[in-house]
Structure 1
């Protein structure tokens, strides 16, 4: 009679005799988890069929190591010989491989060949985009990895245990307190910590506000005639109309708000209008606040890149004119990286309870560790240093863009010296052809028409050049490709 421990799958080391008087089996703790459903007339056949199916469907990838026969037998509640025999037969069939010291693994079989697709009969495809000057993104290569890691370590070391619970729907107190101090200092925002609600970005914040406004029986939110279509969609999905306010060289014509039927709020980018690049004139700032006071309305202020002004000190946030009529929205998406999914709202006192209720009873949106890290990053001064560093980088790029187009009277860079993008006005009727020419140069770039509200009058032909997007290594190549594509 052969002892059960003496039967091993090919490639497995011979185990020592089991001591059945020992403590409960610990091999399942040491092994690898593998979910299998055994079906069929017998245990061995069912196990083999389950393993074949797992390999065939890709659930067990080529080269994946299987649990030892002892571990899998304990998990499945079957005899070890049953697993060892199944492994041995699958090795013989070519599904598995086994080598001494390497264990039992899924065989690395060649993928079946597929016929090459027929060559297209159309003209050759345009070059895949090598460079991108699409607006809306920072230079991701500039993310301060080392400083962020330092902040994360400090935050993790100092964090109380309670910080890793479900959390307050408004966000962690540590971040809200630091944000209130920073926004007051850097953006002129009246931002008591209890008025700050952390969210996972601007769209998340706008979604919550859309829900609250609809619950308040607001029928429409006025928007700028040029802006992101996604933002308008968020509001329309909430059941709100989005009538357009016209723009000119002084920004959005907020004096026309009184004539917008049913508007209970207006969405503005006052510091640096997206995408036209103009700043809202002081008289029009005042007109927006006067409208909000007279109608019990709200101003939703998107301060998406207010920290990046190059020709003078950044203009303070509109919210400072009337904190009870303006909702201030900011994010780390442009200053750090959109992948952090961290944003914030500074709310009028009467709106805090409704927004936090819309967000939920617990904070589902933002990682506690990321909130603590950002709080430490700001409090330590690293955020200010990073913003100043990136401000210099983006300013140089904008200057280089303007210099590269200097002397070409058919082209004009418009908008204030700020942010991560600039508008390049083109000769009439050339916007589409220039975008096509840029694509042939391997450059992705956007036209101004892409951002026009459906009800707005057409504006000039222009490109919206996101000079903040390329990494340092690609900036020169992207600028050269743009110059070749321009008329």
Structure 2
């Protein structure tokens, strides 16, 4: 749908070369045709008036008028007396359509894991916080704030929040606010790479995205196995790697909670080897059957980098995360942030700080724990109805659980057959970093995107599929 510009609309990016030896009108016609063909000007979009475009390009209005008339005759533009000239609604783009992403397939019932419900975003609270943050805001704060680490207002609140809620050791000076987890993990790995570290250990199964980020930086990932107690610290010690990325509160994707014994063993490993633990605290706010688990970072703040964000608690589209750094990484990570993008949106930082400070964020989390907890319960009940052939693990926290399929059932076949019923499922196989033929058939089922009714109906549609393919 084309943008309905008000007023005269924005300028067009058109360059005319008066020394090119070609008539200016021919150049203008070619530039406009190209802009329409490659989609810079969309079908139905309003063109600038001939006067505005002539003034912008420093040419006569008559030349623009003649150009428009020519393109109308060719079918590129449509013009009616007393109305604006627009790009013809029937014009066809000649550039190829973008290749669809693999995860963008539409299903009626999508059990995609790790994704919160975007409809749950607290719009009214955000707008209230925006009004509070804007009211009385000094104009100088909207200039080039020299705070690559993020606005101190937000860093103070984040430090207080992770101390109070996650048991972390944090002060504003060792917090760097980032554009979500993606930038956070990239900044930390890049800082380590610049210090000469070329390998990083990661959980297996785990997020292949971390492997992709490390690869782009020039680092090599070493997979370390995970079991019911979390990361295998003995295997980590044998790897010879000095940096490891872990998800101890709710392992991604198995859902395992790292045991107390493993947590202490991991901290001992870091101290003994001068190693570093990167703790991805991605969904710890949502716990159901057990009390909240504190961060590893709280046990050894100089040996653990804590990564967090509001992607699961509020919405991924906000692109706000943070790094709680050991003292020796604060400046390298902050420098990387500065050279990445020069800093972060001032107003968004002030809004989030107000939301956290006011208690409205906590109220939103309490409500969403109830919402997601109810959806999780419905999913567990629906899976019980499938029968004893399937079992569930990793359901104590977060927005997903793991469904263990019966022996002899093919994970790819289940996913393919479910798609025929417009049910989107994700298999554990996509999270394994090392290949293996003896891996159990498992599904990673998310319940954040679906309503309770949708969860029931989605599982009902594939109940036979889960045990027969």
Q: Distance in 2 between matches of 1:180 and 1:355?
A: 17
Asked if the contact 1:306/1:314 (under 8 Å) is kept, the reply is yes
Q: Distance in 1 between matches of 2:323 and 2:250?
A: 18
Quote the residue 1:102 is aligned against: 83
CA drift of 1:286 comes to 0.4
Asked if the contact 1:246/1:456 (under 8 Å) is kept, the reply is no
Is residue 265 of structure 2 the alignment partner of residue 287 of structure 1? yes
Quote the residue 2:318 is aligned against: 340
1:221 to 192, 200, 216: 200
RMSD: 3.0
Q: Distance in 2 between matches of 1:78 and 1:151?
A: 48
Q: Distance in 2 between matches of 1:91 and 1:266?
A: 62
Asked if the contact 1:267/1:299 (under 8 Å) is kept, the reply is yes
CA drift of 1:219 comes to 3.8
Is residue 243 of structure 2 the alignment partner of residue 243 of structure 1? no
Instruction: Deviation per CA, 1:288-321: give whole Å up to 9, x if none.
Output: 0111111111111111111111113211111111
CA drift of 1:363 comes to 5.0
Deviates more, 1:46-55 or 1:309-318: 46-55
Asked if the contact 1:163/1:172 (under 8 Å) is kept, the reply is no
1:159 to 137, 160, 169: 137
CA drift of 1:66 comes to 4.0
Instruction: Deviation per CA, 1:360-383: give whole Å up to 9, x if none.
Output: 358536322222211111111111
Quote the residue 2:379 is aligned against: 401
Specify every segment of 5 or more residues in structure 2 that has no aligned partner in the other structure, as ranges.
1-6, 95-104
Deviates more, 1:274-283 or 1:76-85: 76-85
**Alignment TM-score, normalising by the size of structure 1:** 0.82
Q: Distance in 2 between matches of 1:432 and 1:383?
A: 40
Instruction: Deviation per CA, 1:52-107: give whole Å up to 9, x if none.
Output: 6655665554444444444444444444455555556666776655444324x136
CA drift of 1:206 comes to 1.4
Asked if the contact 1:169/1:362 (under 8 Å) is kept, the reply is no
CA drift of 1:392 comes to 0.9
Asked if the contact 1:420/1:467 (under 8 Å) is kept, the reply is yes
1:267 to 237, 245, 251: 245
1:296-315 aligned at under 5 Å gives the runs: 296-315=274-293
Is residue 352 of structure 2 the alignment partner of residue 374 of structure 1? yes
Deviates more, 1:460-469 or 1:54-63: 54-63
Instruction: Deviation per CA, 1:200-240: give whole Å up to 9, x if none.
Output: 12222111121222233234322222101111222233333
1:322 to 293, 300, 306: 300
Q: Residue 316 and residue 34 in structure 1: after superposition, are their counterparts in 2 closer, same or farther (change >3 A)?
A: closer
Quote the residue 1:20 is aligned against: none
2:439 to 442, 459, 462: 459
Aligned residues: 445
Quote the residue 1:12 is aligned against: none
Q: Distance in 1 between matches of 2:426 and 2:65?
A: 61
1:138-149 aligned at under 5 Å gives the runs: 138-149=116-127
2:392 to 413, 428, 439: 413
Asked if the contact 1:181/1:191 (under 8 Å) is kept, the reply is yes
**Alignment TM-score, normalising by the size of structure 2:** 0.85
1:207 to 164, 168, 186: 186
Q: Distance in 1 between matches of 2:227 and 2:26?
A: 76
Q: Residue 476 and residue 67 in structure 1: after superposition, are their counterparts in 2 closer, same or farther (change >3 A)?
A: same
Specify every segment of 5 or more residues in structure 1 that has no aligned partner in the other structure, as ranges.
1-28, 115-126
Instruction: Deviation per CA, 1:259-288: give whole Å up to 9, x if none.
Output: 222x11111111111111111110110000
CA drift of 1:195 comes to 0.7
Instruction: Deviation per CA, 1:433-455: give whole Å up to 9, x if none.
Output: 22122111111111112111216
1:422 to 395, 401, 406: 401
Instruction: Deviation per CA, 1:331-362: give whole Å up to 9, x if none.
Output: 11111111111111111112211221232358
Asked if the contact 1:142/1:471 (under 8 Å) is kept, the reply is no
Asked if the contact 1:55/1:106 (under 8 Å) is kept, the reply is no
1:49-128 aligned at under 5 Å gives the runs: 59-84=40-65, 96-103=77-84, 105-106=85-86, 108=88, 110-111=90-91
Asked if the contact 1:421/1:466 (under 8 Å) is kept, the reply is yes
Is residue 423 of structure 2 the alignment partner of residue 443 of structure 1? yes
